[in-house]
Chain A
Amino acid sequence: MIWDALLLQLGYNATLVSVGAALLGAAAGITGTFLFLRKRALVADAVSHATLPGVCLAFLVMASLGGDGRNLIGLLIGSALSAWVGLWCLNWLTLRTRLAEDAAIGAVLSTFFGFGVVLLTVIQTAGIGRQAGLEGFLLGSTAGMLFNDALMIAGGGAATLVIIALTRRALTLVSFDPEYASAQGINVSQVDMLMMGLVMAVTVIGLKIVGLILIVALLIIPAVTARFWSERSDIVVLLAGIFGATAAYVGAGVSASAPNLPTGPLIVLMSAGLFALSLFFAPSRGVMAAVIRQQRFQRRVHLRQGLLALAQGQPIYENLTLRLLGRAGLVRPDGVATEIGRARAAKALRDEKRWEILRRDHAHEAAAELYDGLREIETVLTPDEIREIDTKIGPPQEIPT
């Protein structure tokens, strides 16, 4: 059943929902990356919660004018308008008052959402009826979605992607380095507006599928996930789009395969799964990579200290050091140095002496700064320079046994 859904075998509407979700996921992931790099990820949370009063007001207006209150286009226009008002309030609070952005986000989010809930109860109790669809905007519902709605979501997602493709250079520059972008002649506040406009577009398009409470996850999680895999902004953007699209596509497919599997939460959980995988297994930024790096470093320190101890004839009590030396074939199991071990130890001690002289010599100040107890001296000095230092030390001495 799940394979049927993923291979688009569940009928025309389910296919359209899956494709629409994937386009939405890609648009959200990419938009979210710019937002994340601009360090304004949670602004999206305020924008998405601020859509609720607009949806309700649009419903009330359309119903009181005698039309069908559930017309999706009308509802989405309403949600966009109130999201815009919420965004304006947020910017005003941040710029004109002493409130920090996080407080402004929380204030806008809770007030608008609270007002939306008041309007929801007005609709429920005013006896207008047929309001059942509105709760679906909280958590998203693809069940009973009309063909036209699905088409609109797919179209909206594609249009958002096109706009991003056309403006990606300005978006990247501003989200990375606003001052530099401004020096390049880019109008930063206009690009910020565009960014927020894209966030609004994604939110509004995603209302029906993911719902307003969870849409922020589609913007944040793929971006954070992609950041683990690359240090290059264009690759991060691309990866975020791919992660977002994958999570949305699989989530929508799984949700269509059985009852009681809400679409929005499933998409979010798929994203979270990708995030968890990346957190642990991504190269260089992942947790595993960090652990491996740490272990390697530890081994190098132990080996180095062990060799120095051998060279100076000191006993080694640390088990890990002995094990590492033994495994490298530098000591025998009884703790006595082998032939190679003695040679390496002598070299280590000599290097230490070389470093000592080098660090006392002001002529080598820059090189001396690189000393950390592990670095090979050959990486900072030329053979000639080493030879010159060696003349100050004298010839090799016998290792005490």
Chain B
Amino acid sequence: MSGAEFVPLSLPPIVIGTCAAIACALPGNFLLLRRQALIGDAISHVVLPGIVVAFILSGAISTWPMMIGAAGAALIAVLLIEAIRRLGRIEPGAAMGVVFTTMFAGGVLLLEQTDTSSVHLDVEHALYGNLESLIWLDATGWGSLLDPLALAGLPTELPRMAAVLVLTSLFVAIFWRALKISTFDEGFAQAVGIKTTPLGLALVVVAAVSAVAAFDAVGSIIVIAMFICPPAAARMMTNRLERQIAWSVGFAALSAILGYVLAGYGPLWIGLYDAVSAAGMIATVSGVILALAALFGPCRTRAGAPAGV
């Protein structure tokens, strides 16, 4: 395949997908270890009402109102889950189930009641994203990567996703020690003076930011899959947190690249004519990687657990 075709059509989606996957997998590692893995699931569902409300208020599909709406919805959802859990004394899983299904249902109803025929906003879009459409029309080949004029025409999702990736990495790097200690032993973390409650909230906020940014670019399926599958697969490979994060980043990138390539070119290889959903394929590949890790990973079993438990 020539650069003239690959660079404008496939390179941007692959890079965006990879950034999104890694940005979700990084906080996902900590959420997984803290038994909060499904927060990502909840956030990616509640983003829909946020976006619909932002659209109704601003009247247009533009980036910033939607990001703010989505982030607001995610924040409201987290607060509601916490409030219901405390006020009603309900277990967190059920509280989460109540909140995110209700907000998602509200979003769907609003969407159906609003006239969105003129714009590209529907439930399917929210679920699958539009990774394939993030193309770079100004590019003519590999040389365009050095051409400032062509670089200005990059899809806006690319710099945004990259910025979120940098933000997430910085968060993990700066709070590394505190995150690590509070994840494994909250009591000890408090004893050495780490403020665990704000730190836990900050982690959820960072996860929400990645989820919202990734959602805008690639849809909510990838978000859920990337929060959980790469960190879970990495967990089977090692007992050390540093290595687990390295593995998860590798798995996330591999899922994004392999998934996109399989979705875009796989059907051609087996004789079909059209590409399939890249978002769905990336999620599928990450699941296959998890399955392989669960079958063959060196650290797949629970250490010290009695048989049959």
Chain A residues at the B interface, C-beta cutoff of 8 Å: 36, 39-42, 45, 89, 92-93, 95-100, 102-107, 109-118, 120-122, 125-126, 135, 138-139, 213-214, 216-217, 220-221, 223-224, 227-228, 260-262, 264-266, 268-269, 271-272, 275, 279, 285, 287, 290
Q: Report whether A121 and B277 are in contact in the complex, using a CB–CB cutoff of 8 Å.
A: yes
Give the residues in chain A near B123, CB-CB below 8 Å.
138-139
How far is B41's CA from A23's CA once the two chains are assembled, in angstroms?
Answer: 29
How far is B90's CA from A271's CA once the two chains are assembled, in angstroms?
Answer: 16
Q: Report whether A114 and B104 are in contact in the complex, using a CB–CB cutoff of 8 Å.
A: no
Q: Quote the shortest CB–CB distance from B95 to chain A (angstroms).
A: 8
How far is B271's CA from A122's CA once the two chains are assembled, in angstroms?
Answer: 12
How far is B69's CA from A215's CA once the two chains are assembled, in angstroms?
Answer: 25
Q: Report whether B300 and A111 are in contact in the complex, using a CB–CB cutoff of 8 Å.
A: no
How far is B40's CA from A103's CA once the two chains are assembled, in angstroms?
Answer: 11
Q: Report whether B96 and A126 are in contact in the complex, using a CB–CB cutoff of 8 Å.
A: no
How far is B104's CA from A211's CA once the two chains are assembled, in angstroms?
Answer: 12
Using an 8 Å CB-CB cutoff, how does the interface string of B189-215 with A read, 1 for contact, 0 for none?
Answer: 000000000000000000000000000
Residue of B nearest to A43 (CB): B93
How far is B89's CA from A45's CA once the two chains are assembled, in angstroms?
Answer: 21
Q: Report whether A285 and B98 are in contact in the complex, using a CB–CB cutoff of 8 Å.
A: no
The 7 tightest CB contacts between A and B, nearest first, are A114-B283, A111-B287, A117-B280, A217-B101, A125-B274, A110-B225, A265-B105
Interface size on B, residues (CB 8 A): 71
Give the residues in chain A near B35, CB-CB below 8 Å.
100, 102
Using an 8 Å CB-CB cutoff, how does the interface string of B80-118 with A read, 1 for contact, 0 for none?
Answer: 000010011111011111100110111011001100000
How far is B274's CA from A380's CA once the two chains are assembled, in angstroms?
Answer: 82
Q: A98-B302, A120-B277, A279-B84 are in contact. Are A106 and B37 (CB under 8 A)?
A: yes
Give the residues in chain A near B281, CB-CB below 8 Å.
114, 118
Does B282 interact with chain A (Cβ within 8 Å)? yes
Within 8 A of A (CB), among B224-283: 224-225, 227-229, 232, 235-236, 263, 267, 272-277, 279-283
How far is B308's CA from A104's CA once the two chains are assembled, in angstroms?
Answer: 17
Seed contacts A106-B37, A114-B283, A265-B105; 9 additional CB < 8 Å A-B pairs = A41-B91, A99-B294, A105-B38, A114-B280, A115-B287, A217-B101, A224-B90, A261-B112, A272-B102
Q: Report whether B89 and A220 are in contact in the complex, using a CB–CB cutoff of 8 Å.
A: no
State the main secondary structure of chain B at its contact with A. Answer: helix
Give the residues in chain B near A93, CB-CB below 8 Å.
294
Q: Report whether A99 and B235 are in contact in the complex, using a CB–CB cutoff of 8 Å.
A: yes
Q: Report whether A111 and B101 are in contact in the complex, using a CB–CB cutoff of 8 Å.
A: no
Give the residues in chain B near A269, CB-CB below 8 Å.
102, 105-106, 109
How far is B110's CA from A269's CA once the two chains are assembled, in angstroms?
Answer: 12
Does B2 interact with chain A (Cβ within 8 Å)? no
Give the residues in chain B near A138, CB-CB below 8 Å.
123-124, 127
How far is B276's CA from A302's CA once the two chains are assembled, in angstroms?
Answer: 70
Chain B residues at the A interface, C-beta cutoff of 8 Å: 32, 35-38, 40-41, 45, 84, 87-91, 93-98, 101-102, 104-106, 108-109, 112-113, 123-124, 127-128, 221-222, 224-225, 227-229, 232, 235-236, 263, 267, 272-277, 279-284, 286-288, 290-291, 294, 299-303, 305, 308-309
Q: Report whether A122 and B276 are in contact in the complex, using a CB–CB cutoff of 8 Å.
A: yes
Q: Report whether A121 and B276 are in contact in the complex, using a CB–CB cutoff of 8 Å.
A: yes
How far is B83's CA from A120's CA once the two chains are assembled, in angstroms?
Answer: 38
Q: Report whether A36 and B94 are in contact in the complex, using a CB–CB cutoff of 8 Å.
A: yes
Q: Report whether B128 and A117 are in contact in the complex, using a CB–CB cutoff of 8 Å.
A: yes
Give the residues in chain A near B236, CB-CB below 8 Å.
97-98
Q: Quote the shortest CB–CB distance from A239 to chain B (angstroms).
A: 15
How far is B276's CA from A120's CA once the two chains are assembled, in angstroms?
Answer: 8
Give the residues in chain B near A111, CB-CB below 8 Å.
225, 229, 283-284, 286-288, 290
How far is B281's CA from A116's CA once the two chains are assembled, in angstroms?
Answer: 9
How far is B279's CA from A118's CA once the two chains are assembled, in angstroms?
Answer: 8
How far is B268's CA from A125's CA once the two chains are assembled, in angstroms?
Answer: 13
Give the residues in chain B near A260, CB-CB below 8 Å.
112-113
Give the residues in chain A near B222, CB-CB below 8 Å.
114
Q: Quote the shortest CB–CB distance from B102 to chain A (angstroms).
A: 4
How far is B273's CA from A214's CA once the two chains are assembled, in angstroms?
Answer: 33
Q: Report whether B40 and A107 are in contact in the complex, using a CB–CB cutoff of 8 Å.
A: no
Residue of B93, B105, B273, B290 near A217 (CB, 8 A) is: B105
Q: Report whether A117 and B232 are in contact in the complex, using a CB–CB cutoff of 8 Å.
A: no
Residue of B nearest to A217 (CB): B101
Residue of A122, A221, A223, A285 near B102 (CB, 8 A) is: A221
How far is B113's CA from A261's CA once the two chains are assembled, in angstroms?
Answer: 7
How far is B221's CA from A105's CA once the two chains are assembled, in angstroms?
Answer: 14
Give the residues in chain A near B277, CB-CB below 8 Å.
117-118, 120-121
Q: Report whether A227 and B284 are in contact in the complex, using a CB–CB cutoff of 8 Å.
A: no
Q: Quote the shortest CB–CB distance from A106 to chain B (angstroms).
A: 4
Q: Report whether B301 and A114 are in contact in the complex, using a CB–CB cutoff of 8 Å.
A: no
Q: Report whether B98 and A42 are in contact in the complex, using a CB–CB cutoff of 8 Å.
A: no
How far is B288's CA from A113's CA once the two chains are assembled, in angstroms?
Answer: 13
Q: Report whether B282 and A98 are in contact in the complex, using a CB–CB cutoff of 8 Å.
A: no
Q: Report whether A106 and B101 are in contact in the complex, using a CB–CB cutoff of 8 Å.
A: no
How far is B107's CA from A266's CA once the two chains are assembled, in angstroms?
Answer: 11
12 pairs, A vs B, C-beta closer than 8 Å:
A92-B294, A98-B299, A102-B37, A113-B221, A116-B280, A117-B128, A117-B221, A121-B274, A265-B108, A266-B109, A269-B102, A269-B109
How far is B263's CA from A217's CA once the two chains are assembled, in angstroms?
Answer: 32
Q: Report whether A265 and B109 are in contact in the complex, using a CB–CB cutoff of 8 Å.
A: yes
Q: Report whether A220 and B101 are in contact in the complex, using a CB–CB cutoff of 8 Å.
A: yes
Q: Report whether A214 and B104 are in contact in the complex, using a CB–CB cutoff of 8 Å.
A: yes
Give the residues in chain A near B228, CB-CB below 8 Å.
103, 106-107, 110
Q: Report whether B280 and A121 are in contact in the complex, using a CB–CB cutoff of 8 Å.
A: yes
Give the residues in chain B near A279, CB-CB below 8 Å.
84, 87-88
How far is B225's CA from A269's CA once the two chains are assembled, in angstroms?
Answer: 27
Give the residues in chain B near A97, CB-CB below 8 Å.
236, 294, 300-302
Give the residues in chain B near A102, CB-CB below 8 Å.
35-38, 93
